[in-house]
Amino acid sequence: MNKPARKSRSGARRSVTIKDVARYAGVSPMTVSRVVNGGQYVSDATRQTVMQAVRQLGYSPNLAARNLASARGERMGLLYGNPSASYLSEFLVGALDAATRHGVQLVLEKCEMTPAASRRAVRRLVAGGVVGVVLPPPLCESAVIRAELQAARMRIVAVAAARPPADVMCVSIDDFAAAREMTRYLLALGHTRLGFIKGHPNQTASEERWRGFTAAVQEHGNLPAPRVEQGFFTFRSGLDAARKLLSGEPLPSAIFASNDDMAAAVMAEAHRRALEVPNDLTVVGFDDSLIAANIWPGLTTIHQPIAQMAGEAVDMLVASVRGGKRGALAEPVHRLVAHELVTRESAARPKSTTA
Amino acid sequence: MNKPARKSRSGARRSVTIKDVARYAGVSPMTVSRVVNGGQYVSDATRQTVMQAVRQLGYSPNLAARNLASARGERMGLLYGNPSASYLSEFLVGALDAATRHGVQLVLEKCEMTPAASRRAVRRLVAGGVVGVVLPPPLCESAVIRAELQAARMRIVAVAAARPPADVMCVSIDDFAAAREMTRYLLALGHTRLGFIKGHPNQTASEERWRGFTAAVQEHGNLPAPRVEQGFFTFRSGLDAARKLLSGEPLPSAIFASNDDMAAAVMAEAHRRALEVPNDLTVVGFDDSLIAANIWPGLTTIHQPIAQMAGEAVDMLVASVRGGKRGALAEPVHRLVAHELVTRESAARPKSTTA
DNA sequence: CCCTAGATTGGTATCGCTACCATCCCCCCC
DNA sequence: GGGGGGGATGGTAGCGATACCAATCTAGGG
């Protein structure tokens, strides 16, 4: 029964392992592991030595092994429906980045908003061994999907749901405050005849934005009643709303659309009517989506740190899953992140202030 | 020396493993493994039995274990710079999907196009244990990055580089054919006074598109010389080009911009000059990026199956890395995928054909 | 000065799966 | 009818890391 020196399976040169580092540093693999994972109970001297060895050898832990040993490496789902879609890009970047950081795998799943499709998507997720799901808008608002997911005992983090149910985790901006801030900005510019295009009624963010708008209007007081149209977050719906807003008299001097796509539509319609933006009409949006900087004039809008939000969502998911394993499942968190008013060229003082 | 029955580490109920399936199906774990991995040397009967068991138990292989055992689970990098950015979204979806399919990890890295930044990004990638990199445009054209990457012995797949160097793998559409097709379409509509906005000169796709355009013009023959302006794929540059194209006499009846952002700029400028699209001016783009469907009128353009391309890029990377391990590194492939001309509202017959 | 608590470190046993090899068996051919 | 060839299957040994526990050492309290 002779023991072969080392049955290296694939002839290829193995990468440096924790044992190599341990040998090099003159400690046990365990100690290296502790250092690498920032564990406690390691003396400073040892830590230094080990870190030195790590650097020297260019050691990078094997994710697969680590995941296997620590029963980590869970799969997280990202169920995306049909987000404003420029949204998705940033969202994915942020989510993927966080996933890499935590060493979890991110599984994408597309899903239409019909009950049947939701069910199918959730089933695929479950089959894929996913233990938690990030829900970007607009899926985060779908009660059906949430129910399906909860039935499958998945943890959920909704992103950008302005008023999530109490029992799901959520990360979002303060839509109310943001819309109020934008409206205050318009008022500060001197606008008095305001137009507002509401967002899709099935999203709670829409209502928050609307509430923020009216709050600012009311606190200013002494304004003609704003003209309001219903929109649905699509370019098309924005166009319809814009036509209505721009046909009556008196024309609004500033229009606040509940997202950028609709704001872009307002600008298109304004141009068609030979109204110059921002000289004849101020247009502002919400989201700071891709289109905002890619039209002319650039759109003044509210920026959401989408990537950051997606990242935090994944963080929360991981924390929940790992924490939950140890029994300590904290109550659902609702994390607010900071938004930012981005000024570009589409907003200016009104041409002739009647005030 | 008593053997504890099963020292289950985390008290949590373990998920079903290959052994469970094996026991359930009455075969050895190896056989299950072979079935699950579609290996040969399994009788149909056994295969059926095992698959049945898999379904019954809801077995899903543990990725970490699989990767660890098979020395798989490599990390692939995705180095993105500043792509048309609506691009990125679809690209990520496709790439991530393929990565999940292959069980490899996708690591994102952002990188400006300066040499210093490139070097840093590549170093981070190397440090992260990445063995191959997908290069979406415009990074795929950067010689610096390619050199850095090749110096680090990374495998590279460039996406959408129209004429990649012979030694890197590539997946792209046939920009030449696509541009020619679009131009033929314009000519078929009856346009004779054409305008063309070239793409950024540092991207090979630009030249291919330009070549496709001229090829169609020449094969048609008997046309006034098209007006041509240089663009740089940005909205801004498109605006400049549009101003020039729309100021001389005679006005072009159709403008073909080398990407959608520039086409959108042409439309914006046309509107400003009270030219109606498509009645007074036909505008077409290239890429079918997000903006194409989100402006009015919708942009007729060339659709690239971006997600598919990204997916194939990852496939190629994986194949190369895994194949390369077995020594059989095939020569760099250049894979062409099909494009599609998408007609929306921005193109129509010219108002008065002078022909 | 002994004893306990806590800090630090090492050893061992897996984690779930697959590579590699040994084995068994069936069938064909000389 | 025996020897091969190859299909089908099982056994064994890790892959590289961490969890858990034991062992050692240091420092105070009684």
Question: Cα(B35)–Cα(B24) distance, rounded to whole angstroms?
Answer: 14
pLDDT band at A2 (very low <50, low <70, confident <90, very high): very low
Fold topology of A74-159+306-338: Rossmann fold (3.40.50)
Mean pLDDT of the region B55-76: 87
Give the pLDDT band (50/70/90) at residue A328.
very low
Residue B93 to residue A88, Cβ atoms within 8 A: yes
Confidence grade of residue A10 (pLDDT, cut at 50, 70, 90) = very low
Question: Which of A74, A295, A314, A321 to probe by mutation at the B interface, max B CB count within 10 Å?
Answer: A295
Q: Which residues contact A254 (CB under 8 A, 6 or more apart)?
A: A186, A189, A191, A193, A194, A195, A281, A282, A283, A284, A347, A350
Per-residue pLDDT at A4? 40
Residue A103 pLDDT grade (very low, low, confident, very high; cuts 50, 70, 90): confident
What is the C-alpha end-to-end distance of chain B, expressed in Å?
99
pLDDT per position as a tens digit, A153-206: 888 999 988 888 888 899 999 999 999 999 999 999 999 999 999 999 988 999
Measured in whole angstroms, the distance separating CA A268 from the mean position of its chain's CA atoms is: 28
Cα–Cα distance for residue pair B212/B182, rounded to 1 Å: 9
Residue B35 CA and nucleotide C27 C1' are separated, in Å, by: 25
What confidence tens digit (pLDDT) does each residue in B104-158 have? 889 899 888 888 999 999 888 887 778 899 999 888 888 888 998 998 888 899 9
Per CB-CB distance under 8 Å, the chain A contacts of B85 are 86, 89, 290
* A122-126, long-range: CB < 8 A, 24+ apart: A122/A79, A122/A148, A122/A149, A122/A152, A122/A154, A125/A77, A125/A79, A125/A152, A125/A154, A126/A152, A126/A154
Mean pLDDT of A195-220: 96
Report, as an integer, the average pLDDT of A230-252: 94
Protein residue closest to C6, using CA and C1': A41
Query: Which residues from chain B sit within 8 angstroms of residue A97, using beta carbons?
Result: 108
Which residues on chain A are in Cβ contact (under 8 Å) with B275?
none
Banded model confidence at residue B327, pLDDT cuts 50, 70, 90: very low
Q: What angle do the packed helices B63-70 and A63-70 form, to 10 degrees?
A: 130
What's the gap between Cα A263 and its chain centre?
A: 21
The confidence band for B29, taking pLDDT boundaries of 50, 70 and 90, is very high
Query: What pLDDT, on a 0 to 100 scale, did the predictor assign at position B5?
Result: 38
Give the pLDDT band (50/70/90) at residue A327: very low
Contact B63 A105 (CB under 8 A): yes
CB pairs under 8 A between A and B: 126
Average pLDDT for residues A49-58, to the nearest whole number?
91
For A9 and D9, how far is CA from C1' in angstroms? 22
Contacts of B114 by beta carbon, 8 Å cutoff, 6+ apart: none
Please, is A163 exposed, middle or buried when counting C-beta atoms within 10 Å of its C-beta (0-12, 13-18, 19+)? Answer: middle
Looking at chain B, the whole-number percentage of residues with pLDDT higher than 90 is 55
Any idea where the domains of chain B sit in the sequence? 18-57, 73-159+306-338, 175-303
Q: What is the mean pLDDT of residues B305-318?
A: 93
Are the C-beta atoms of B165 and B146 separated by less than 8 Å? Answer: yes
Query: Is it the case that residue B95 has pLDDT exceeding 90?
Result: yes
Looking at B71-80, B211-220, B332-341, which range is the least confident one? B71-80
Residues A268, B295 contacting (CB under 8 angstroms): yes
A65 interaction partners in chain B (CB closer than 8 Å)? 64, 68
**Mean pLDDT within B76-88:** 79
Task: Name the nucleotide nearest B66; use CA and C1'.
Answer: C17
Q: Decide if B92 and A89 are in contact by the 8 Å CB cutoff.
A: yes
- DSSP code for A227: E
Token pair of B142, please? 């950067």
Cβ contact, residue pair B60, A129, below 8 Å: yes
Question: Can you state the percent helix, strand and coil of chain B, rounding each to 5?
Answer: 45, 15, 40
Which CATH code fits A16-51? 1.10.260.40
Print burial letters for B39-49: b (CB count within 10 Å at least 16), e (below 16): eeebeeebeeb
Q: How close, in Å, is residue A19 to chain B by CA atoms?
A: 16
Strand D neighbours with CB under 7 A?
Answer: A 3-4, 6-9, 14-15, 17-19, 29-30, 32-33, 36-37, 59, 61-62, 65-66, 68-70; B 9-10, 27-31, 34, 40-43, 45-46, 65, 68-69, 71
**3-class state of residue A15 by DSSP:** coil
Q: What is the pLDDT of residue B50?
A: 93
Q: Categorize the per-residue pLDDT at B13 as very low, low, confident or very high, splitting at 50, 70 and 90.
A: low
Are B85 and A290 an interchain contact pair (Cβ–Cβ within 8 Å)?
Answer: yes
**What does pLDDT average to over chain B?**
88
Q: Is the pLDDT of residue B73 over 80?
A: no
- Coil, strand or helix at A130: strand
Over range B263-282, report the average pLDDT. 93
Mean pLDDT of B77-100: 84
Please tell me the predicted confidence (pLDDT) of residue B83.
Answer: 65
The pLDDT value recorded for residue B352 is 66
For testing contact with chain B, the best of A277, A280, A296, A329 (most B CBs within 10 A): A296
pLDDT above 60: residue B299 = yes
Residues of B in contact with A106 (CB under 8 A): 96, 100
Are the CB atoms for B170 and B161 separated by under 8 Å? yes
The answer to whether some atom of strand C lies closer than 7 Å to the beta carbon of B62 is yes
In whole angstroms, what is the distance from residue B229 CA to residue B243 CA? 10
Residue range A90-115: mean pLDDT, rounded:
88
Grouping H, G, I as helix, E, B as strand and the rest as coil, residue B107 is strand
pLDDT at A352: 66
Sign of CA dihedral B76, B81, B84, B85: positive
| Residue A42 Cβ under 7 A from any strand C atom | yes
Same fold? B73-159+306-338, B175-303: yes
**Mean pLDDT throughout A270-276?**
89
Taking the CA of residue A58 and the C1' sugar atom of nucleotide D29, their distance in angstroms comes to 47
* Spatial distance from the CA of A45 to the C1' of C4 (Å): 27
- State the average pLDDT over residues B65-87: 82
- Provide the pairing of β-strand A301-303 with A340-342: antiparallel
For chain B, state the CA radius of gyration.
26
Percent of chain A's residues with pLDDT above 90? 54
CB contact under 8 A, A264 and B295: yes
CATH class, B73-159+306-338 region: alpha beta
Which among A265, A290, A296 has CB closest to B268? A296
Of the candidate ranges A142-146, B10-14, B196-200, the one whose mean pLDDT is the lowest: B10-14
CATH class of B175-303: alpha beta
More confident call, A181 vs A122? A181
> Strand C closer than 7 Å to the CB of A41?
yes
Residues of chain A in contact with residue B68, where contact means CB-CB under 8 angstroms, are 62, 64-65, 68
Q: Chain A residue closest to B8 (CA)?
A: A71
**Cβ atoms within 10 A of the Cβ of A162, count?**
23
Q: With 50 as the cut, is the pLDDT of residue B90 above it?
A: yes
Q: Are B313 and B134 in contact (CB under 8 A)?
A: yes
Query: Nearest Cβ partner of B60 from A67, A127, A295?
Result: A127
Yes or no: domain B18-57 corresponds to CATH 1.10.260.40: yes
